[in-house]
């Protein structure tokens, strides 16, 4: 079992939390709440207002989130779900435990409040440079006062499916072929 710290749409009450509850993805158990030991920039960015933890330790705020114990199957599912390693990278960070509810832990494994714990987190080191100038948050809520509503994946696919398909002309194929030849 591995500990994973979630700070965005995977938290309880957030749009993607259901993937942690779906047993077909693997096993995940809520253990407690905490925050990063070091400050990090947590920004809401991109066309779909996705929360991103920028891998810039020492900048931003100590970020609040939830700690889950996950099995290997769930860890692999989360890697795929988070677009690891392209969009996010799974790294280890130290988390200060604020509250611990870990029922499946033995007393020796249960960290006391205000103790630290190593957890995997999905952060990104690959982002547009302008993201470092966005507002930094310490706690993400998709319905927060920031006014940046998260666009769920199911809505993105629906929106794309409703877009009329552009008909390609022979010129489009030539441009695509020429571009492919240049970029190889």
| Catalytic one of 38, 72, 80, 82 | 82
| 4 closest CA partner among 107, 75, 73 | 75
- The answer to whether the beta carbons of residues 119 and 3 sit under 8 Å apart is yes
State the Cα–Cα distance between residues 162 and 142, nearest whole angstrom: 25
State the Cα–Cα distance between residues 147 and 167, nearest whole angstrom: 37
Contacts of 93 (CB under 8 A, 6+ apart): 5, 36, 37, 38, 40, 57, 118, 119, 121, 123
Residue 154 is a catalytic residue: no
Catalytic residues: 82
């Amino acid at each position: 079992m591995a500990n994973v710290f979630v700070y965005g749409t995977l938290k309880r009450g957030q749009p993607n939390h259901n993937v942690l509850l779906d047993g077909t993805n693997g096993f995940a158990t809520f253990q407690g709440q905490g925050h990063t030991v070091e400050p990090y920039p947590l920004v809401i960015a991109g066309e779909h207002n996705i929360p991103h933890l920028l891998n810039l330790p020492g900048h931003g705020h100590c970020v609040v989130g939830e700690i889950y114990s996950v099995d290997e199957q769930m860890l692999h599912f989360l890697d795929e779900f988070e677009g690891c390693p392209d969009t996010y990278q799974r790294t280890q960070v130290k988390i200060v435990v604020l509250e611990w509810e870990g029922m499946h832990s033995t007393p020796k494994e249960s960290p006391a409040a205000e103790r630290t714990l190593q957890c995997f987190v999905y952060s990104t080191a690959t982002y547009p440079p302008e993201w470092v100038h966005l507002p930094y948050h310490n706690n993400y809520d998709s319905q927060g006062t920031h006014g940046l509503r998260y666009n769920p994946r199911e809505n993105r696919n629906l929106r794309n499916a409703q877009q009329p398909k552009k008909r390609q002309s022979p010129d489009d194929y030539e441009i695509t072929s020429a571009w492919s030849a240049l970029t190889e």
